Amino acid sequence: MTIHREGYKTIAISALAFAVINLASFYFISAHEAWLSGLIFVVTLAVLLFLISFFRVPNRKKTTGDNLIICPADGKVVVIEEAVDEEYFKDKRLQVSIFMSPANVHQNLNAMSGEVAYSQYHKGKYLVAWHPKSSTENERHSVVLRNKHGEILVKQIAGALARRIVNYLQVGQKVEQSTEMGFIKFGSRVDVLLPPGTKVQVQLNQTVQGGVTVLAKWD
Q: Which residues form the catalytic set? A: 188
List strand residue ranges (DSSP E) for the chain, in order.
2-3, 56-57, 68-70, 75-84, 92-100, 107-109, 114-122, 140-147, 150-158, 165-167, 174-175, 180-184, 188-194, 199-200, 207-208, 214-217
Other CB atoms within a 10 A radius of the CB of residue 37 amount to 19
CA gap 134, 141 in Å, rounded: 12
- Which residues, 6 or more positions from 2, have their beta carbon under 8 angstroms from its beta carbon? 56, 57, 59
Other CB atoms within a 10 A radius of the CB of residue 134 amount to 26
**Exposure b/e, 145-160, CB count within 10 A at least 16 = b:** bebebebbbbbbbbbb
Residue ranges in the chain assigned as alpha helix (H): 8-28, 34-54, 134-137
